[in-house]
Chain A
């Protein structure tokens, strides 16, 4: 089957690739481009570990065919830090202990990033509900919520 030319912008870098249509965006990011920060958990849309931001929206990259992402702008966990400085959400996960094994963390951080970019004025309950598509088997979620709320405060204070 024919491979397709695909141009993606990932974390600001352009990639011109030839890919098989059956490759998911997740596989393209991890295997073709080599950005392994994005994780594959369930592969069925249920766990959120593969969350990346495409044209400003958080999506589960295991559900997206790579060919359909041509021309789009993608941000992964590797693209959050700038000039060697972590994004406030990343820093808050470290400060609060919002991770244990860390497998769910990139997904939680990318989902949270899209949420705070959209609207900082969410209650804890609203954040909890909005992050319902991300699963963590380690932390019990309390520290994750703490991290997100701390990051919101930090972003408010500096913006």
Chain B
């Protein structure tokens, strides 16, 4: 690992200012950054730890604003949170799929999203929660919908100096589910990730949200499939149409891990499967 200057600011303003300098990198749990530094793919001259800035950790629930998750919250805490398990089951399930317990005790949800890996396991759950991403910098604050955060693999709209402070989840779902398509039971990266969330009223689907990871240059919502489902009662035919519509909206790549055809086919299968389980849970 190349050497670097290490900073532990105690305010966001100070951190943001340090982060605007050239060759600076933020450190949260380190599970992406430290690996990158060991491999010399990341060679920052300064590393700015967020761990001593107050207010960035923890999960709070209130009736007006729903659930808020601090960016520095460990994914292990997201996985075990009663509030998230109840209202955003797919997100808790996604968090529980990351690496091992030892990794999840280090990795933060903010880092999982900011790193912008197409296969990040919390992204589909945040998409179907309609998460709002609060961002702070020395210039002020702004909010970006999770839908608009990613611009490509490893790329986000975050500018130098901008720090994610929290994720707000205003829209609970009565039923949701995430499936990570993978080979090994643990310690594997997703071929694709699919989350579905629904709200039902007298068995009618009032609202459906479908989030897809690793099937396009950025994580996407399957809006056509969502619109198909709205106002209808679930039948096997309807779920099949939704699965096909979701698959049609993807543009997956072929890589060492699997082919584009397989990815697209599995979007269809896993959209149906996650929808069925989300509806059963609702």
* A and B from one complex: yes
CB neighbours of A133 from chain B (8 A): 99-103, 186-187
Report the contact-size class of chain B (Cβ under 8 Å from the partner): 20 to 34
CB neighbours of B101 from chain A (8 A): 58, 111, 114-115, 130, 133
Which residue on chain B has the smallest CB distance to residue A61?
B102
- Judge whether A2 is part of the interface by a CB distance below 8 angstroms: yes
- Partner among B27, B99, B186 whose Cβ is within 8 Å of the Cβ of A65: B27
CB neighbours of A102 from chain B (8 A): none
Whether B187 and A46, one on each chain, are in contact in the complex, defined by CB atoms closer than 8 angstroms, is: yes
| CA of A1 to CA of B44, assembled, Å | 13
| CA of A20 to CA of B49, assembled, Å | 15
Known: A21-B4, A44-B38, A132-B187. Is A59-B102 also a contact (CB below 8 A)? Answer: yes
| CA of A58 to CA of B104, assembled, Å | 9
| CA of A24 to CA of B37, assembled, Å | 11
Whether A132 and B186, one on each chain, are in contact in the complex, defined by CB atoms closer than 8 angstroms, is: yes
| CA of A67 to CA of B7, assembled, Å | 10
Known: A45-B99, A48-B100, A58-B102. Is A63-B31 also a contact (CB below 8 A)? Answer: yes
Interface residues in A1-30 by Cβ distance below 8 A to B read: 1-2, 4, 20-22, 24
Whether B47 and A111, one on each chain, are in contact in the complex, defined by CB atoms closer than 8 angstroms, is: no
CB neighbours of A46 from chain B (8 A): 187
- Partner among B30, B38, B186 whose Cβ is within 8 Å of the Cβ of A68: B30
Known: A22-B37, A65-B34, A68-B51. Is A60-B6 also a contact (CB below 8 A)? Answer: no
Q: Of A4, A67, A68, which is in contact with the most chain B CB atoms at under 10 Å from its CB?
A: A68
CB neighbours of A67 from chain B (8 A): 6, 8, 49
CB neighbours of A59 from chain B (8 A): 102, 105-106
- Partner among B1, B6, B105 whose Cβ is within 8 Å of the Cβ of A4: B6
Interface residues in B23-55 by Cβ distance below 8 A to A read: 27, 29-31, 34-35, 37-38, 47, 49, 51
Could you mark each residue 244-276 of chain B with 1 if its beta carbon is under 8 Å from any beta carbon of chain A, else 0?
Answer: 000000000000000000000000000000000
13 A-B pairs (CB sep. < 8 Å): A21-B3, A22-B2, A51-B102, A57-B76, A63-B103, A68-B30, A114-B101, A115-B101, A129-B186, A132-B100, A133-B99, A133-B101, A134-B100
Q: A44-B35, A68-B30 are in contact. List 13 more A-B contacts (CB 8 A).
A: A21-B3, A44-B38, A45-B35, A45-B103, A64-B34, A65-B6, A65-B27, A111-B102, A129-B186, A132-B185, A133-B99, A133-B101, A133-B103
